[in-house]
Amino acid sequence: MIGEQIANYKLIAKLGEGGMGTVYVGSHIQLGRKAAIKALHPNLVNNPQIRERFKNEAATLANIKHQNIVGLYDYLETTKGLFLIMEYVQGKPLDEFIAQVSGPVAEDIAIHLMCQILDGFDYAHKQGIVHRDIKPSNLLITPEGEAKILDFGIAKILDNSRKSLTQDGSRMGTVLYMSPEQVRGVAIDTRSDIYSLGVTLFQMVTGKCPYDENNATEYAVYQEIVNVPLPRANTFYPTISAKMQQIIDIATAKNPNDRFQTCAEFKAALLGQSNPINQTNPTFIQNNIGGRQTPKPERLSQTAPTGNTIHYQNEENYTENNHEKTTNYKLLWGRVNYWFSILLLLSLVGATAYVLLFNPFQLPILEKIAFFAPEKPQNREAAIKEKLKAFFNAIESHDFNNIKDFYADSIEEYFDFKNVDLKPIPDIKSAAEAYWKTYAIAEKHEIDWTTFKYEIDENHNHIAEITFTYRFENKARKWNSINKVRNKIKFNKDLQIFSIAKS
């Protein structure tokens, strides 16, 4: 249909295709405004149920106006078919964004995106609308970091006075993100969307859906959704925080009463504005998430003072009691002095041992005795030099496996790469291998050790600056000399590189 005109829009490109229709980019022939035009598949146009569902999406979107929900401009029934004219949003569906751009989304970014998504659904829920088909492919991420919700094709209106396309007992939606009540075909409400959002959040922060869609049967997935809690997120991606795990657990609780009851509660928990445990059933938290409930202390019974006064019968009794108290004080003071002396002695022994073993004042007389003395600056410098030699030799081998162990788990700066997590190794590996294959098929680093500078910062990181002549052999088999290069290389306390930059 590309090149055809639908109402005032000319179809200029195809955006994607799904089970119900195809989405095109259209341009208004007079205003030049772009729109996303969703066309129902021609072979479905005469299906009454599908036509009703398509019209239901238009009716649903017509009543929704929110910055995080793709808006509807118009609905058309023509001789060419049925069409939704919608707001055009430049971006990627969340599943493509995870697979092609971000990988597992960092928690702070995931919170930023999910809060926008929750704002949109909170608005829709307040209009009495349940989406019923929440999944990453129905959430768009723009280049500006905004999230947009789309595809209300099987939404249910929670107003019994209005006709609903999907009735209780029917299963609609994508299996992997369904709530347990959707799978069972029972009545659902907005908390079903909250469950699907919890599964979506799991995929955002781990990079993977919690269910094995390639190997598991649909029946097996149904059974897991109904009976088995989601796997621990940190088994998919080890850096998931305990707070994030707890939020996912609550959002995806099997019993809707144990979930966040509204999107606003869900958002507040993500932003740390409330304790997720206080939002739902404490018994569920204790049994299923590992939360620890602090028992409320029993109220202490208090005995009111009687006002009675103790009278000593005679002076002899008074003197005897007073003498006994004095004796007890002397015994107590003697014990305090005894333990104070013991503690003082132990402190002196400990301090002496510390000085002898660690030599904190770097006294020459103790250098041979101090077993744990800090390494001398010249020894640290020599270790860094040896590490640099080995590192440059490893680069010249053109085998990234020889190089990766020199790096820390995360790279603060690596020329054009910033704040990169090297587990798993990202584009640094592919960039290096492409460079060796197509450009520098052989290379040498001729280090000028007279230019070597070394220092250690307040965090005990090692900073080395070195000048070297870099030579490489290109495909024409000609050695090309490059101007002298000076690099600043930072090593952490374990002598692993976490920053390389030109100085």
Contact 197, 119 (CB under 8 A): no
Chain-centroid distance, C-alpha 201: 9
Q: Which residue has the tokens 């788990």?
A: 409
Strand partners, 35: 26, 87
Q: Look at residues 332, 331, 312 and name the one whose alpha carbon lies nearest to residue 321.
A: 312
Is 122 considered catalytic here? no
User: Which member of 119, 122, 133, 193 is catalytic?
Assistant: 133
Q: How far is CA 115 from CA 120, 201, 202, 249, 418, in A?
A: 9, 11, 14, 17, 26
d(CA 219, CA 214): 13
Asked whether the CA dihedral 394, 395, 400, 403 is positive or negative, the reply is: positive
Instruction: Return phi, psi of residue 347, to 5°.
Output: -65, -40
d(CA 366, CA 345): 22
Q: How far is CA 190 from CA 210, 222, 305, 317, 472, in A?
A: 22, 20, 58, 79, 62
d(CA 456, CA 490): 9
Q: Which residues are catalytic?
A: 133
